[in-house]
Amino acid sequence: MTSIGDGAFYGCRSLTNITIPDSVISISESTFWDCSSLTTIEVDSGNHNYVSDDGVLLKKDKTTLIKCPVGKTGSYAIPNTVTSIGYIAFVGCSSLTSITIPDSVTSIGSYAFSGCSSLTSITIPDSVTSIGDGALYGGSSLTSIIISNSTTEIGKLAVGYGDDGPGITEYTGLTIVGHPGSTAEAYAKKHGFTFADINTWNPDAPSGSDSPEQPGQSANQNSSQTSGSNQSAGQTSTNNQTSTQTTSGTKQTGWVQEGGTWHYNDANGVAETGWINDGTGWYYTDASGAMQTGWINDGGTWYYTSGSGVMQTGWVNDGGTWYYTSGSGAMQTGWVNDGGTWYYMNASGAMQIGWINVGGAWYYTNASGAMQTGWVNDGGKWYYMDASGAMQTGWLSDGGAWYYLGTDGAMRTGWYSVGGKYYYSYESGKMAVNTKIGSCRVNANGEWVR
């Protein structure tokens, strides 16, 4: 065995430890998906590509951390040789209470710490320049994260979000700590999280806010109203348009909250309807001017806005199902290419995994939804997908050997008949030629010679 593919041990929830043999040269990131009891990944000392450190899988040179077993508990300090924390490296490690990131790390991959729900705080060292999409997605216990001034890229939904309930959940109790003017501060303000200056931050002070935040602002900013008045507001109606005023008669503009509902008022204090861009993102208000959240159908096209009302682009997780929205925010269906990888979204927009029939051809997507090409193992059977991802049938030449795939696409082994002639394929699927199988001889074409 030289490779272990996507989801090879998917759902093996009783598996507690595993040893990677010395022959393995390739391991997929999603190999151990949902192995909830796995606490140790060992590697044979003769393996030239991988190594284990405290039960965690790394590249041989220990510069890339590939996979921490989901069942690992307590505290874990990443080795100071590591420069890159891989895609989904710690995904689902819900029993880890503390993770120490050394200053050797320069990048944190997408969804690296997704589902680490027992972490209460984490420090991103000065060495880290980029944090991938959803890196701490599902970090529901996080109350603070320190992000250095060196971090210039923070991905979508990197921190402060999860899917604990219907749709995407925002963790309003989170404080993002960093330097004024940094990417960390920009992220906090864009998403409405509390930002604290690292030079004056007191970790023992309470974080977050008990009151709903204003769209487009962080929790420590004031509401937009022309006089800055904190008096209660009333409404006046002119030409069937409703404007909001303070009790002193001053019109309120920008975001205004009334009875728990947010509205966006123009320069005349009149609530705007439809799509609104306030400089921080796109929002949608209904015919009454009330800001909408969740799924929105506008002109037959679906859009998704977060709990703070901001329209989302890219990947959206709603109730455990993944959707993809374009740069314009429109929900996509059919084939979607993201970063060179193909995914398939059904008619309702939900990402599909496993076997998919499109236009009469069969395709296979792994546990992460990525379309597969080449050899695919499903349920112990091997299939071959061409460069377009379509499942192949019949004779296949690969690497100088011939294989036969039945009408169901499954690779044949042992004796089988094709067009009235008998052939034999070894357990590897490779067709036998110019040899004897027991007392039966096969010729150069693999045909049994009577």
Rounded to whole angstroms, how far apart are CA atoms 123 and 178? 10
- pLDDT over 70 at 384, yes or no: yes
Q: What percentage of the chain has pLDDT greater than the value 70?
A: 89
Is residue 90 a contact partner of residue 98, using CB atoms and an 8 Å limit?
no
> Judging by DSSP bridges, how do beta strands 374-378 and 381-385 pair with one another?
antiparallel
pLDDT of residue 253: 87
Those residues whose C-beta lies under 8 Å from the C-beta of residue 296, and which sit 6 or more positions away, are 284, 302, 303, 304, 305
pLDDT of residue 223: 38
Q: Work out the average pLDDT over 134-159.
A: 92
pLDDT of residue 11: 81
Which has more pLDDT, 431 or 3?
431
**Residue 381: other Cβ atoms inside 10 A:** 12
Is residue 49 a contact partner of residue 64, using CB atoms and an 8 Å limit?
no
Is residue 363 a contact partner of residue 356, using CB atoms and an 8 Å limit?
yes
Strand positions, DSSP E, 21-100: 26-27, 40-43, 50-53, 56-59, 64-67, 74-77, 84-85, 96-100
Which has more pLDDT, 233 or 344?
344
> Judging by DSSP bridges, how do beta strands 64-67 and 84-85 pair with one another?
parallel
Task: Please list the residues that pair with 195 across neighbouring strands.
Answer: 176
Is residue 88 a contact partner of residue 81, using CB atoms and an 8 Å limit?
no
pLDDT of residue 320: 82
- pLDDT over 50 at 1, yes or no: yes
pLDDT of residue 172: 81
Average per-residue pLDDT for the chain: 87
Q: What percentage of the chain has pLDDT greater than the value 90?
A: 70
Collapsing DSSP states into helix, strand and coil, what is residue 189?
helix
| DSSP string over 246-291 | ETTSPBP-EEEEETTEEEEE-TTSBBP-EEEE-SS-EEEE-TT--B
Which has more pLDDT, 242 or 410?
410
Which has more pLDDT, 17 or 260?
17
Lowest mean pLDDT among 102-106, 245-249, 360-364, 439-443: 245-249
Collapsing DSSP states into helix, strand and coil, what is residue 139?
coil
- For 168-217, the pLDDT digits (tens) are 778 888 999 999 999 999 999 888 889 999 988 877 654 443 333 456 55
For the record, the structure tokens of 234 come out as 């009333």
- pLDDT over 50 at 449, yes or no: yes
Rounded to whole angstroms, how far apart are CA atoms 263 and 291? 6
Collapsing DSSP states into helix, strand and coil, what is residue 185?
helix
- For 218-267, the pLDDT digits (tens) are 333 433 333 333 333 344 444 445 555 554 556 788 999 888 899 999 98
Give, as one character, the DSSP assignment of residue 142: -
Q: Tell me which residue has tokens 């990947």.
A: 315
For residue 364, give the H/E element and its range. strand 361-365
Rounded to whole angstroms, how far apart are CA atoms 129 and 148? 9
- For 252-307, the pLDDT digits (tens) are 889 998 888 999 999 888 999 999 998 888 999 999 999 999 999 999 999 999 88
Q: Residue 1: is it exposed, middle or buried by C-beta count within 10 angstroms (0-12/13-18/19+)?
A: exposed
**Contacts for 91-98 with beta carbons within 8 Å, 24 or more apart?**
91/115, 92/34, 92/36, 93/68, 93/69, 94/70, 94/118, 95/71, 96/68, 96/72, 97/73, 98/74
Is residue 63 a contact partner of residue 38, using CB atoms and an 8 Å limit?
no
Rounded to whole angstroms, how far apart are CA atoms 114 and 408? 37
- pLDDT over 90 at 46, yes or no: yes
Rounded to whole angstroms, how far apart are CA atoms 390 and 372? 9
Predicted TM-score (pTM) of this structure: 0.51
Rounded to whole angstroms, how far apart are CA atoms 383 and 412? 10
For the record, the structure tokens of 193 come out as 């999280």
Rounded to whole angstroms, how far apart are CA atoms 87 and 31? 12
